[in-house]
Every structure is written in C-alpha cells, then in structure tokens.
C-alpha cells in the first residue's frame, strides 16, 4: 500500500508551477471524437490517471491516441464504435463526456450508468434532457444509457435546471455537429467551459457566449482536428495557495490565472492572507494569525466546491468559528471524519459545517475519501504535530501530478512510500493452504 507521510512544522518557500487543468483536458480529449478529419494535438496535458483513463476510452471507441511529453495526439478519423463500458465509467465519471460527441458523430451512444460516488449521487438527467431536446431517444436498461437519433441531431433551446458543468459540456459537443442552432440557458460559466468552446471553435465549430449564462452553438456539418493548449489548473493552483498560507510561508504559484481564482483570492484575503499578482502567477504570503470566515460553495464564479476541503484545512487554523456550506454536492463532507482523527473540531449541521479553531492538529493515519480530500489532509499534515500518513492515494493521483514532490521542492518534509501489508502467521498459513 502506498502512503504519503508528512511531518508538519515547516514554512513553505519558493516557486511551484501548476499543470494543465484536469477538468479542462478531459472534455477536450472527449471532444476530439468530433473530428472526422485530421489529427488533434493537445498540449500542456497533465500526467494524471484520469487522462490515461479517458485516453483508454477513446482507444476503445476506435480512435488512435498517443500521449507523450505532455501532449496528446488524437486521430478519430476512422469509424468509431459507440459504447463506453462500465469498467471505464466506474473509474472516472467524466467518461460520460464521450456521449454527446458520439451521439453527434454516429447518431448513437451507449454509455454505462455512472453509479455511486463518494461526494453524492451525481445524476446526469440534465445531459439527457439536452440530448432529448435535440431529437434523441433515450433508453435506460441493463446498467446502460442508450441515446439514438434518426439522422442528425437538431438544434434546440435548452434550459438547465442547474448550471451543470458536465451537462453544458456534453450538450455543447452534441450541438457542435447538430443541424441548426442550439441555445443553452442557465449553463455553467466555468473557465473549463470556455476552454472547451475555444477548442471546438479551432476545429471549425461556431460557439458563442462561453463563460456567460447563455451559450449559442451553430451546428456545422463536420469538424477537423486542431491544435489546442489546455488552461492552467485553477484547483491545483488553489491547493498550493492554501499550502503557502497554512504554513505561514511565501510561495509563488506560477501559472495561476487571477481571473480564474477571484472567489478564492477574496476569501483567503478575508482570512488575512496576502496575495500579490505577479507577471507569471500569484504570490501567497501566509500571516501569523488567520481570521475565521464563512464560505458557501457555488457554481462559477462562486466559490468552487473543489476547493472546499482544502479551505476546511485552512480554517482549522483560524482563530474563532467559521462555517462552510456546500451547495453543489449533496454529500461532500466525508473528509470531516478524517480531520477529526487529526484533532479537528468540526460539527456537521445539514449541508454546513461549523469549524472551531485554532486547534493543535495532530498527525494521524488518515484516508483520502476523494481526490480533493486527499490533498486537504496533506495540507493539514503540513502544520500538524508529528507524522500524518495519508492512504488511498489513487484518489489523489486522479487530480494531482507529483503532489508530494512539488511540495518537497518548496520545503515540505514529505515522502511517498510503499509499505508492505503486514500479514499474521495465521493469514500466511491460510494463503499457503
């Protein structure tokens, strides 16, 4: 079993560079399926397990995919199959993002139902509502969702009940090759949506309004591969910003885009953290004393749910009572129990948590319950007394490249180790029987 072991107490200093954004690269690679001519070249791709998974999904569907030196090259010009099986969707929910592109290109898509998830039930009804509005018939059975259309999808006006990131992306991809105009209202405004629209436009698509609450897509007859560079990862950047603040350090987070991080910067400044815009990123200087604040997660430009657990770690160090309300996911507080193992004083009340600080965090063995929780527990370990051992690193590897190495490069006392699981003599005897 692999573990990350952190010894707390060091102030972080230096420069750390952020990777291309996981949540931008996954839909962009999925959108490469739309190109029936020429290859796509996608640059600044992070070496994450999720990227390997989406590449596998594309290969399964019949595309040629090469991943080397942070560049993914996709040739989807051959005929594609239409089914994404459960083994991929189980590993990574974002596999459902191939559905819109497959449906638009082939008139049919069959994708395994995603199943449960550590942060909530995460239905995809808004994706399906969009496909149906464009003329697709949806059938659900035997653990699969099947969408089919006779001829081409037709442009439609679609109002999302919630500005879902994935639904907005899936509908954009489907609409890019539909006949006529699609308008998505109350859509997601995240920077990753803008990145996807820029990529599809470079492929020959016509998408306007990405980054606002209404997106308009004029369908085209075909799309060609294009060259695209992925935007920097605002959540990885935010995680390193918290690492600097929680240790009272001084770190330049190179590649952090201030416009993508306005809510986080505002909230960290409210806590007393100094944040300076520099030419190539954001410098974060942790104060002696952190102030308590209240946070409510919201769709962009509100406070990102993907930074909720990291901010919880920071608020445990603030003097006084803070509250975090999670409005995006129904069950994203699994990390609270793990923080309690480290002496965190946190109470859950419905969709909110009340945090009393500052507590003397104590090192303990804790498990990453999802990828951001994994990062947050390591952040807590940076200022805890003694050793913190974080397990279940498969979650962390979905979203962070060399997290421990990067933290070590700015002064953290941290290592990643493989530990043999101790077996008792009885167990050994049972195995050899």
Residues in the annotated binding site for phosphoenolpyruvate: 22-23
Among residues 413, 406, 400, the alpha carbon closest in space to that of 373 is found at 400
Catalytic site includes residue 383: no
Question: Does the footprint of ligand PEP cover residue 399 (CB under 6 A)?
Answer: yes
CA 231-169-91 angle, 5° bins: 85
Neighbour tally for 117: CB within 10 Å: 13
- Enter the DSSP assignment of 343: T
* Contacted entry of ligand UD1, ligand PEP, none for residue 399, CB cut-off 5 to 8 Å set by kind: ligand PEP
What distance in Å separates the CA atoms of residue 130 and residue 152, rounded to the nearest whole number?
Answer: 14
Where do runs of H (alpha helix) occur along 342-423?
371-382, 393-399, 403-409
Binding-site member from 88, 131, 329, 333 for ligand UD1 (CB under 6 A): 329
Q: How far apart are CA 41 and CA 379, in angstroms?
A: 35
Comparing CB distances to ligand UD1, the nearer of 131 and 240 is: 131
Binding mask 366-395 for ligand PEP (x = CB under 6 A): -----xx-----------------------
Lookup: tokens for 190: 């995240």
Least Å from the CB of residue 414 to ligand UD1 = 24
Candidates 94, 103, 256, 412: give the one binding ligand PEP (CB under 6 A).
94
* Choice among 1, 117, 140, 430 that is catalytic: 117
Question: What is d(CA 318, CA 10) in angstroms, rounded to the nearest whole number?
Answer: 18
Q: Which residues contact 428 (CB under 8 A, 6 or more apart)?
A: none
- How many chain residues interact with ligand UD1 (CB under 6 A)? 19
Q: Which of residues 164-223 bind ligand UD1 (CB under 6 A)?
A: 164-167
Cβ 372 to ligand PEP shortest distance, Å:
5
> Least distance to ligand UD1 from the beta carbon of 23, Å?
3
Select 319 or 394, whichever has its Cβ closest to ligand UD1: 394
- Of the candidate spans 159-167, 311-319, 355-363, 379-387, the one that interacts with ligand UD1 by CB under 6 A turns out to be 159-167
Residue nearest ligand UD1 by beta-carbon distance: 166
DSSP letter, residue 89: H
Taking the C-alpha atoms of residue 332 and residue 326, their distance in angstroms, rounded to an integer, is: 7
For the annotated catalytic residues, the residue numbers are: 117
């Amino acid at each position: 079993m692999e573990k990350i072991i952190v010894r707390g107490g060091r102030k972080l200093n230096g420069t750390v560079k952020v990777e291309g954004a996981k949540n931008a690269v996954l839909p962009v690679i999925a959108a490469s399926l739309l190109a029936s001519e020429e290859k796509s070249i996608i640059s600044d791709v992070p070496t994450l397990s999720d990227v390997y998974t989406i590449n596998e999904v594309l290969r399964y569907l019949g595309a040629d995919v090469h991943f080397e030196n942070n560049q993914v090259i996709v040739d989807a010009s051959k005929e594609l199959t239409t089914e994404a099986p459960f083994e991929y969707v189980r590993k990574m929910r974002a596999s459902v993002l191939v559905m819109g592109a497959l449906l638009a290109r082939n008139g049919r898509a069959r994708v395994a139902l995603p199943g449960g998830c550590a942060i909530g039930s995460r239905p995809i009804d808004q994706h399906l509502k969009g496909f149906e509005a464009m003329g697709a018939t949806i059938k659900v059975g035997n653990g699969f969702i099947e969408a089919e259309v006779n001829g081409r999808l037709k442009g439609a006006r679609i109002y999302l009940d919630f500005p879902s990131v994935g639904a907005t992306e899936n509908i954009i991809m489907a609409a890019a090759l539909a006949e006529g105009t699609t308008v998505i209202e109350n859509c997601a405004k995240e920077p990753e949506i803008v990145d996807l629209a820029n990529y599809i436009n470079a492929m020959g698509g016509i998408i306007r309004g990405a980054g606002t609450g209404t997106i308009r897509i004029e369908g085209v007859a075909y799309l060609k591969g294009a060259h695209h560079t992925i935007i920097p990862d605002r959540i990885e950047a935010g995680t390193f910003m918290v690492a600097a603040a929680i240790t009272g350090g001084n770190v330049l987070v190179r590649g952090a885009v201030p416009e993508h991080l306005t809510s986080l910067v505002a909230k960290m400044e409210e806590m007393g953290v100094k944040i300076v815009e520099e030419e190539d990123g954001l410098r974060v200087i942790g104060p002696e004393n952190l102030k308590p604040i209240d946070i409510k997660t919201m769709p962009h430009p509100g406070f990102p749910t993907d930074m909720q657990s990291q901010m919880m770690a920071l608020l445990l160090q603030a003097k006084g009572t803070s509250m975090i309300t999670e409005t995006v996911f129904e069950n994203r507080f699994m990390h609270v129990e793990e923080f309690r193992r480290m002496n965190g004083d946190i109470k859950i009340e419905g969709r909110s948590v009340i945090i009393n600080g500052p507590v003397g965090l104590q090192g303990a063995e804790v498990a990453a319950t999802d990828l951001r929780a994994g990062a947050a527990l390591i952040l807590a370990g940076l200022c805890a007394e003694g050793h913190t051992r974080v397990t279940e690193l498969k979650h962390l590897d979905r979203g962070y490249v060399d997290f421990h190495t990067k933290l070590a490069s700015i002064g953290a006392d941290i290592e990643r180790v493989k530990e043999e699981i101790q077996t008792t003599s009885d167990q050994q005897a049972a195995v050899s029987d």
